[in-house]
A = this chain, B = another copy of it.
């Protein structure tokens, strides 16, 4: 029993690993099942034992990508309530930049890529993606509002609006560094984003 569960996890995970890797650079349509099978060393019949279609694989990958992003980038930046809220945002921005630097500007944002590829062509994915970006935005909105009640951010500015703008600009920055293959592009954009925040920042402490 233990072995069977282990075995299942193993194979399924192998498929997910390979597919995530491939789809990150080639996209959903650009990655064929055969590619995934070759890369993971899993047979076709076995694949369809774990996933009932390529679409389901797509959703599983998206889930996995999101979980990774939330656990490795979003939460670590926002989880600590003792840290000043604007610090948390800065740390998050740096985290996204760092991820992109490590990837050498290859792949871009997996969520952004899928959004671009599938939003107008697959309503299910579009909705899922929209939820994800909303969650992301809300995390930022929360921190910004906290900064306002805190006194470190001007109460005049619309936190939700600002958060929306931050998410959009970050996605755009990642895309632009993916096209140019120059990390400096992202550095510039993150710098501008910080500068923008600084304009609404009052000198107040946490």
Residues of chain A at the chain B interface (Cβ within 8 Å): 25-27, 29-30, 106-108, 112-113, 115-117, 119-121, 126, 129-130, 133, 161-162, 164-165, 167-173, 175-176, 178-181, 185, 188-189, 191-192, 196, 199
Contact = CB atoms under 8 A, between A and B. Distances in A.
Given A130-B179, A171-B171, A196-B196, 4 more contacts: A115-B175, A165-B188, A167-B172, A168-B169
Contacts of A129: 179
Contacts of A121: 25-27, 30
Given A120-B106, A185-B164, A133 B176 contact: yes
Contacts of A176: 133, 164, 167-168, 171
A189 B170 CA distance: 12
Contact of A27 (B29, B107, B168): B29
14 contacts: A26-B121, A27-B121, A29-B29, A29-B30, A108-B119, A119-B178, A119-B179, A161-B192, A165-B192, A167-B176, A169-B173, A172-B173, A196-B196, A196-B199
Contacts of A112: 116, 175
A183 to B, nearest CB: 13
Nearest to A24: B120
Nearest to A180: B130
A201 to B, nearest CB: 12
A116 B188 contact: no
A35 to B, nearest CB: 12
A92 to B, nearest CB: 16
A133 B175 CA distance: 11
A47 B41 CA distance: 40
B164 A188 contact: yes
Contacts of A162: 192
